[in-house]
Structure formats: C-alpha cells, structure tokens
Structure 1
Amino acid sequence: MLKKTLPLIIAFIAVTAAHAQERRNVGGCDIRRGTLCTSLNLNGADLAGVNLMNSQFTRSSLAGANLRGAELGEANFSYTDLRGTDLREASMSRINLKGARLNEARLAGADLHGATFQNADLSAADLSDTILTGADFTNARLGGAQLKNADMQRANLRAANLKGASLVGANLQGVNFNRASLVDADLTGAKLGGAIFLGTQTEGCIGCPD
C-alpha cells in the first residue's frame, strides 16, 4: 500500500511547493507573472530567476535587488528605482524602463531588444554584451556606461548623453545618434554601417567618424 501511495505523496508535496513558490510574497508584492506591484519598496529583494513577465512595477523601488536571470519581458518598470540592481542575463525584451533610474545597474548579458529607455538614467551602468536591437534611448543618460560588444543595431539614441561611455566592439549599425553626445566616448572596433551622426557632439571621441 505504501509503495502505491508514496509517488502520490511526493507529487502532492512537489505541487504544493511549486504553488507556494508561485504565491511568494515579498514586501507586499505577489511574486508571479503579470503581477501588479506599483509604488512598493522592494529594495534589496532577492528575486533571482523569477518570472515577472507582463508585470507592473511602476514607480516602485528595487534598488540593490537581485533580479539576475529573471524573466521580465514586456514588464512595466517605468519611473522605477533600479540603482545598483543586478539584472545580469535577464530576459527583458520590450520592457518599459521609461524614466527609470538604473545608475550603476548590472545588466551584462541581458536581452533588452525593443526595450524603452526614454529619459532613463543609466549613468555608469554595465550593459556589456547585451542585446539592445531596436531599443529606444531617446534623451537617456548613459554617461560612463559600459556598452562593450553590445548589439545595438537600429537603436534610437537621439539626444542621448553618452559622455565617456565605452562602446568598444559594439554593433552600432543603423543607430540614430542625432544630437547625441559622444564626447570622450570610445567606439574602438565598433560597427558603424548606416549609423546617423547628424548634429552629434564627438569632441574627444575615439573611433567616431570625422
């Protein structure tokens, strides 16, 4: 009898544990896909690997949180505080980060294709080896940011501030740099085919077109 019921007991425990994980609550936020967690304080929260696709975190604070490897596709993090947050290797396609604060955030290896960064602050952020194809950085601040080997094809960097940023080896084909600042930036080895530099500030830039 025990041999017959043991697999059922194990399955029940596994399902219960999975359900508990799905319903995990952190700082008043129900951690699950499609959750609504606006204007909450989640500073330093450990959310590594969680699935928060299609979720709303508008105007919340996740400064110093661990979201490494998280699923954040099409989530809304507009005007959210993500300073120093670990977002390495996270899946963030078409995420909304408009007006977000990402100073010194770690995003190396993340998939951010089609992401919105309008008016966001990414000063000193690490975006090395990220996928940023078609991303919108209009008026974003990227001073001192690391964008080494990033794939930024067709990204919009109109009026963005990239002063002192490193874009070494980045794929910048078709990127719009109109009225952007690349003062003291480093584009050594970057692919620039089709990139637009109308009204771009390039004083002290290494690798910028003459």
Structure 2
Amino acid sequence: MARRTSRTKSTKTEPDRPDLPTSFDPAPPPEDGDLWDGVEAGPETEFPEHVADLRWHECRLRGVNLAGRTLSGLHCRDTEFIQCDLSGAVLDDTVFTRVTFTDCRFTGTELNGAGLNDVRLQGCRADLVRLRMAKGTFLHVEDTVLRGADLYRFTARDCAFLRCDLTDAVLEDARLAGTDLHGSTLESIRGPLALRGTRIGPDQLVPVGAMLLAALGVEITD
C-alpha cells in the first residue's frame, strides 16, 4: 500500500517579500508591452497618459509619478514602490505578486478587480481608493489612511489592516473573514456586517458593537 505523505500546516503569517537583485538597470522610456526585468525607475522616468500590458519583474520604483495615468494590463512581480504618487491612476485588473508600497499615495486610485498577492502597503495615503471586486491574499496594509475606501465585494484571505483609518469605508458584500483589523479606526463604515469573522482588539469593541447592533436593527431602550 502506498504511504501517504504527511502535510504540515503552513505557518506563514506575513506577505512574502520581493526577491530583488543586488543591482538594477536604468529604466527605458515606457512603451506598450514592455518587460522591465531588474530595472530601477526614478522621478526622471516619465509615463504617458495611457500605457498597456507592462510587465515589471524584480524592479524598484522610487519617487515615480504615476498620478492620473492608466496602466491597463499591468503585471508586477517582486517589485518595490517607494514614495511614488499613484493618485487617480487607473490600475483595474492589475496583478501584484510580492510587491511592497512604502510612503506612497493612492488617493482615488482605481484598483477594481485587481489581484493582490503577498502585497504590503506601509505608511501610505489611500483616501477614496477603489478596490471593488478585488482579491487579496496575504495583503497587509499598515499605518495607512483609507478614508472612504471602496471595498465593495472585496475578497480577503489571510489579510490585515493594522492601525489604518477606515472611516466611511464601503465594505458592502465584502468577504473579510479572518482579516486582522487591530488598531484600525472603524467608525462610520458602510456595510458593517462584512466584519463577520474578522479579528479586532478590545479597544474596538464598543464602536464595532454599536455599528453591528444598528445594522441588525436592535434598539436600546429604557
């Protein structure tokens, strides 16, 4: 009889870090269909208003201005973004794998339908970011402002939003079970029933409890 190999439960608790080279080549002018492999782009790299089907592998973008740009079909792997401006950028259906964003700006960025796998955002500004119908696996967002963020039908697996400001965020029909929300501001979120199965801290019990009771139509009377 064949022996069944035993399976050990994964102990992974955080996103995998990007696998980056020790040195980078300078970035060429971006054009449709480009593959950047081991490239570093800086503030001098200018992007057209619309560029399609870019692939970035093992790259570093530092201080790059992507505000208002449309990058359709972007696939990004093992890449880090540092102090980049993505405000108002359209990145719908983008796929990020092992990507970090540090001190970046995402105000009004469109990430609808995006795939976010092993992604970390740290110290970013992401007011009104749209993640409608996006999917996150090991997406960790830390110390980031997400006021008014739209996570309608967002699907989370092994995700965390730590010490984030989620005031007025839209969570309707989101699947967030297992998501860690410790230290985050959750007042006035829309769709509080999406918090079912999430993890919060004792300091969040009162505001979250009040929202859930209101959503369930429970009245507290004398």
TM over 0.5: yes
Task: Check the 8 A contact 2:56/2:77 in 1, yes or no.
Answer: yes
Moved more, 66-75 or 27-36: 27-36
Q: Does 1:56 align with 2:51?
A: no
> For the Cα contact (< 8 Å) 1:69–1:88, is it kept in 2?
yes
Partner of 1:158: 157
Kindly indicate whether the alpha-carbon contact (under 8 Å) linking 1:47 and 1:68 is maintained by their aligned counterparts in 2.
Answer: no
Cα drift, residue 106 of structure 1: 0.5
Matches of 1:171 and 1:111, distance apart in 2: 14
Q: Return structure 1 stretches of 4+ with deviation > 6 angstroms.
A: none
Equivalent residue number for residue 109 of structure 1: 108
Report the Cα offset of residue 158 of structure 1. 2.5
Q: Which residue of 2 aligns with 1:27?
A: 26
1:113-192 matches, cutoff 5 A: 113-192=112-191
Taking structure 2 as the reference length, what is the TM-score of the superposition?
Answer: 0.76
TM-score (norm 1): 0.80
State whether residues 55 and 75 of structure 1, in contact with CA within 8 Å, keep that contact through their aligned partners in structure 2: yes
Higher fraction of strand: 2
AA partner of residue 134 (structure 1): M
Structure showing greater relative contact order (alpha-carbon pairs closer than 8 Å, 6 or more residues apart): 2
Over the aligned positions, Cα root-mean-square deviation in angstroms equals: 2.0
Question: Following the alignment from structure 1 to structure 2, what is the Cα–Cα distance between the partners of residues 94 and 104?
Answer: 23
Q: Structure 1 residue 208 and structure 2 residue 208: aligned?
A: yes
Give the stretch that moved more between structures: 88-97 or 64-73: 64-73
Mapping of residues 188-199 of structure 1, within 5 Å: 188-192=187-191, 194-198=193-197
- Counting matched residue pairs gives 184
Aligned equivalent of 1:41: 40
Question: Does the residue aligned with 2:40 lie in a helix, a strand or coil?
Answer: coil
Residue ranges of structure 2 left out of the alignment (5+ in a row): 1-24, 213-222
> Are the aligned partners of 2:80 and 2:99 in contact in 1 as well (CA < 8 Å)?
yes
**Residues 148 and 121 (structure 1), Cα distance of their counterparts in 2 relative to 1, 3 Å cut:** same
Identity among equivalent positions (%) equals 18
Q: How far off is 1:111 after superposition?
A: 0.8
Distance 1:142 1:108 in 2: 15
Give the deviation of 1:171 after TM superposition.
0.6
Asked if 1 retains the 8 angstrom alpha-carbon contact of 2:29 and 2:47, the reply is: no
1:194/1:174 CA distance change after superposition, 3 Å: farther
Residue 205 of structure 1 and its aligned partner are, at CA, apart by 2.8
Q: State which structure, 1 or 2, has the greater radius of gyration over its C-alpha atoms.
A: 1
Per-residue CA deviation, residues 112-169 of structure 1 (Å, 9 max, x unaligned), is 1011222101022211111110112221110111111011101123221211111110
